[in-house]
Amino acid sequence: MKYGSNAAACVTLRPRGVCLFLALGLLYGATAKADATPREVIEQTADAVLAVLQDSTLTGEQKRQRIEDIASTRFDFDTVAKLVLARNWRQLSPEQQTRFKEEFRKHLSLTYGRNVDQYNNERAEVTGERPEAGGDWTVKTRIVRPQGGEPIRVDYRLRKFGEQWKVIDVIIEGTSLVANFRSQFQEIVSREGPEKLIQLLQEKNARGEPLGQGAGSKS
Amino acid sequence: MRPAFPLGGVARIGCVACLWFAVHICLGRGAALGQEYDPWQPFNRAMFAFNDALDTYALEPVAKAWDRIVPERVEQSIANLFQNVYTPIVAVNNLLQGKPRDAAEDVARFMANSTFGLVGLFDVASCWGLAKHDEDFGQTLAVWGVPAGPYLVLPFVGPSSPRDVVGYAVDSIATVYWFFADIRFTVGPQTIQVVNSRAQVLDAVRELKSASVDYYAAVRNAYVQRRARQIRDQQEGTGPDEDFYRIEE
């Protein structure tokens, strides 16, 4: 492990904006080879995403679009949606399940997709992998920021669907996104029912929540 | 972030609070991931709203101004400085957790950064391969088997738990004794630390706010996951338990 001059930033909380985006962005990408190992899946995708991000001929919107179009090839959104709702999943009618999946997916895409403009030459590298119980696989990566600061650890949990490994959770610095959303949604569903959750997601998506002007920093 | 803490009051309030907490901890139970134990939610949500308002109208604007003036590298150096000052406490906690090697490494880090690192502005120890550790007395209590108890949001301080309140108080008192300094002399630096730390996470906080449907629950879960991983020292394989990823069709 090589450190730069400004190595090892020491903050309790670290900027996660760009990282979250890269973490998810990593998954969006090029053609999926049918029999790729989980590690290869992540590596290929990382390369493909960086290619899109570094392509100066594309506008931010085009990058976002490209990312959106291929997101589904790397994520298994069905599984993510089921994991996020956990035991509440069965409370939803099939029609509600479909709407929930659509809105949740949109939410992820809106939230993280707009970070394309914040890309600042970060690189992703695979640092390890391990099998998980139940046949899943975890690929460990870290995002290195050339402008200094500690690398950000991002783990991907993959599951095999037919011949293809797909990502079912992203764990950033040890914090599982599925767990985080599950906690939020559990609260809403148990208090106000699944319809309320879908409605909240819809409202949030409709607002689109554009990036605040002048917000943010130099990163 | 370790904001200022009035010590005299803490001791007194602490005793009463500990008793009250003790009762609740006994009633507490381990929370599965994704469903934190939060019986004090009405109180917590009120405190959370208070903190959020305080942040929105006071801390964040100040931190934004700070961030515009202070270059990123300087922010990092300031963070390093405070981190370095806190290193002896980390070393003691490592000892208390039965990790003398880590404690020795902390002492070496402290010596290296305090001298060659110009009182800690530069983290030369990390460049030399001395690993940084993230320990506090809350984690030590956890290692000793003290349960966290219910989730608790404190005004000004933020997400916590009865166990972490005790840990936080002990660390704060220890830090002040370490300085041999009166609270009057530590308020200034601590204010800088709070503003500086906040400035470093401007984007991250904005991101979390916009990415969450229930900001309160998102922060709560992030806090619980973060503490769990700090306690197990970032080790793998002990993340979300396996049932977590099982789908019931």
Nearest-angstrom CA–CA distance, A191 and A199: 14
Nearest to A133 among B36, B211, B242 (CB): B242
At A75-119, the pLDDT tens digits run 888 899 999 998 888 888 999 999 999 999 888 888 777 677 777
What's the CA dihedral at B148, B149, B150, B151 to 10 degrees? -20
Q: Which residues of chain B have pLDDT under 50?
A: 1-34, 238
Domain ranges of chain A: 2-207
| pLDDT tens profile A2-41 | 333 333 333 333 444 455 555 555 554 444 445 788 888 8
ipTM: 0.74
Q: Which residue of A has its CA nearest to B127?
A: A3
Residues A45 and A75: beta-carbon distance below 8 Å: no
Distance set, CA A162 to CA A35, A75, B177, B209 (Å): 10, 14, 61, 37
Residue pLDDT, tens place only, A205-217: 888 754 333 333 3
For A155-207, what is each residue's pLDDT tens digit? 999 999 888 899 999 888 888 889 999 989 988 898 888 999 999 999 888 88
What is the pTM assigned to this prediction?
0.76
pLDDT for residue B7: 44
Sequence ranges of the domains in chain B: 9-63+135-245
Task: Please say whether the beta carbons of B83 and B120 come within 8 A.
Answer: yes
Decide which of B187 and A42 is more confident: A42
Evaluate if residue A73 carries a pLDDT over 60.
yes
- Average pLDDT of chain B to the nearest whole number: 78
Residue B27, burial from CB neighbour count under 10 angstroms (0-12, 13-18, 19+): exposed
A150 has pLDDT over 80: no
pLDDT of residue A197: 92
Instruction: Report which of B97, B79, B83, B77 is spatially closest to residue B132, judged by C-alpha positions.
Output: B83
Q: What CATH number matches the domain at A2-207, 3.40.50.720, 3.10.450.50, 3.10.450.710, 3.20.20.140?
A: 3.10.450.710
Q: How confident is the model at residue B51, as a pLDDT?
A: 92
Rounded CA gap, A115 and A22, in Å? 8
Looking at the complex, report in whole angstroms how far the Cα of residue B75 sits from the nearest Cα belonging to chain A: 10
Q: Least CA distance to A175: which residue of chain B?
A: B225
CB contact under 8 A, A118 and B199: no
H-helix or E-strand containing A169?
A: strand A164-172
Which pLDDT does position B10 carry in this prediction? 46
Task: Check B201 against A15: CB less than 8 A apart.
Answer: yes
B36 to A183: CB separation less than 8 angstroms, yes or no: yes
Q: How far apart are CA A100 and CA A194, in angstroms?
A: 9
